[in-house]
Amino acid sequence: MINVTKTFLPEQTEYQTILKRAWDTGWMTNRGVLVQELESKLKAHLEVPNIIATTNGTLPLQIAIKALGITGEVITTPFSYVATTSSIVWEGCTPVFVDIHPEYLTIDETKIEAAITPKTSAILATHVFGNPCAVEAIEKIAKQYNLKVIYDAAHCFGLRYNDRSIFEYGDVSTCSFHATKLFHTGEGGALITKDTQLHDALFQHHNFGHNGPEAFHGVGLNAKMSEPQAAMGLAVLPYMAEIIAARKVITVQYNMAFKDTSLTLLKLRPDTQWNYAYYPVVFKEEAQLLQVQARLNQAHIFPRRYFFPSLNTLDYVTAKVCPISESISKRVLCLPLYHGLSKEDVTKISSIIQQIL
């Protein structure tokens, strides 16, 4: 069976050796030595000044909204994983959807200003499939209207834009370390900001609001990463260059197979040093996608409709027509892409698709 992704796992003994350090002390949570070491190594690897490791990739979005004091309306994208929208709603805010760029698939920065009202307090945008948003334009709009900016950068581990870490942009960036991601801790995530005071507020929010063992700065929740999670991250991190290189080889093979077909491939924003996070293809129509998906499934190959459906169509948000997102979401399919996927498997997947196009 070939799934859309496969978790990269180092040798079990490597993980156990790292975990034993926590095992020997009996310190399994509450920011032990492994979590602190992972944060230190991630700061160096990603070239960011501050990072907070968390137990998953959704809580960072909720914490960022809370720490920035965001209320009212939040301009966001309909083309993202549901966590982006659900976090806005969960925190008592109202998502206001702006349609996406038809090629880059990120929020269309030229349509943001028209969506701003006196109730707007923030922009929450997603770097889609590791493709950066138009961060310079968004920053200019945010400054003009005094808005906060959060980036859902779940797909962006190791990504650079304009020769800078993509995590440097916005007030806060969040990342996912889920087992399906490029870098993972089994389940996990991170909060990243260059603002030291904001980092302190985010840190307190992720740890019940604690200010020392007996005092509190205010409301908080429990988003702390555990030692077993951090041990996985420390075991996986040394393999990142190998993982990305392997995914690049697969991506090049797919590109060659589909270059003269009717499929639309992801267009990367200029000056992007991509991380090969996903391999999305866009079909001419949904019926063709469904036919390909069914044929691949028959061969025990399981791509994913990612992102589907368009989030502006969810039943717990105010409906707003976003024709580009709604169309793309019905026609986009992410093909299998992971370290260990063989050249023969890629050929098999490509051939099945080519037969139907």
CA angle 170, 56, 250 (to 5 degrees): 80
Residue 319 has pLDDT above 90, yes or no: no
pLDDT category of residue 219 using cuts at 50, 70 and 90: confident
Residue 151 has pLDDT above 90, yes or no: yes
Average pLDDT of the chain, as a whole number: 97
Phi–psi pair at 259, nearest 5 degrees? -65, -30
Does the predicted model carry a pTM greater than 0.85? yes
Choices 3.40.640.10, 3.40.50.1000, 3.30.930.10, 3.40.50.720: CATH for 2-238: 3.40.640.10
In Å, how far from its chain's centre is CA 16?
Answer: 28
List the structure tokens of 218.
Answer: 């205010």
In percent, the amount of the chain with pLDDT more than 70 equals 99
Residue 189 has pLDDT above 90, yes or no: yes
- At 332 the three-state DSSP class reads strand
| Three state DSSP letters for the chain | CEECCCCCCCCHHHHHHHHHHHHHHCCCCCCCHHHHHHHHHHHHHHCCCCCEEECCCCHHHHHHHHHCCCCCEEEECCCCCHHHHHHHHHCCCEEEECCECCCCCCECHHHCHHHCCCCEEEEEEECECCECCCHHHHHHHHHHHCCEEEEECCCCCCCEECCEEHHHCCCEEEEECCCCCCCCCCCCEEEECCCHHHHHHHHHHHECCECCCCCECCCCCECECCHHHHHHHHHHHHHHHHHHHHHHHHHHHHHHHHCCCCCEECCCCCCEECCCCCCEEECCCHHHHHHHHHHHHHCCEECECCCCCCHHHCCCCCCCCCHHHHHHHHHEEECCCCCCCCHHHHHHHHHHHHHHC
pLDDT value for 129: 98
Range of lowest pLDDT (121-130, 212-221, 261-270, 335-344):
212-221
Count of CB atoms within 10 A of residue 246's CB? 18
Count of CB atoms within 10 A of residue 33's CB? 13
pLDDT (tens digit, 9 = 90+) per residue, 234-254?
Answer: 999 999 999 999 999 999 999
pLDDT value for 208: 87
Residues 6+ apart with CB under 8 A from 166: 127, 132, 135, 151, 153, 156, 159, 160, 173
Every domain of the chain with CATH number 3.40.640.10 lies at 2-238
pLDDT category of residue 211 using cuts at 50, 70 and 90: confident
Residue whose C-alpha is closest to residue 76's, from 110, 126, 114: 126
Q: Domain 239-356: give its CATH code.
A: 3.90.1150.10
pLDDT category of residue 217 using cuts at 50, 70 and 90: confident
Residue 204 has pLDDT above 90, yes or no: yes
Residue 216 has pLDDT above 90, yes or no: no
As a residue count, the chain comes to 357
Phi–psi pair at 244, nearest 5 degrees? -65, -40
pLDDT (tens digit, 9 = 90+) per residue, 25-34?
Answer: 999 999 999 9
**Average pLDDT estimate for 206-217:** 79
**Average pLDDT estimate for 281-293:** 98
Residue 2 has pLDDT above 80, yes or no: yes
Q: What is the DSSP letter of 7?
A: -
- At 79 the three-state DSSP class reads coil
Every domain of the chain with CATH number 3.90.1150.10 lies at 239-356
**Average pLDDT estimate for 163-181:** 97
**Average pLDDT estimate for 151-165:** 97
| Inter-CA distances, 198 with 67, 68, 72, 192, 327, Å | 8, 8, 20, 10, 38
Residue 262 has pLDDT above 80, yes or no: yes
Task: List residues bridging with 100 in a β-sheet.
Answer: 107
- At 112 the three-state DSSP class reads coil
pLDDT value for 352: 98
List the structure tokens of 141.
Answer: 């709009």
Q: Are 183 and 157 in contact (CB under 8 A)?
A: yes
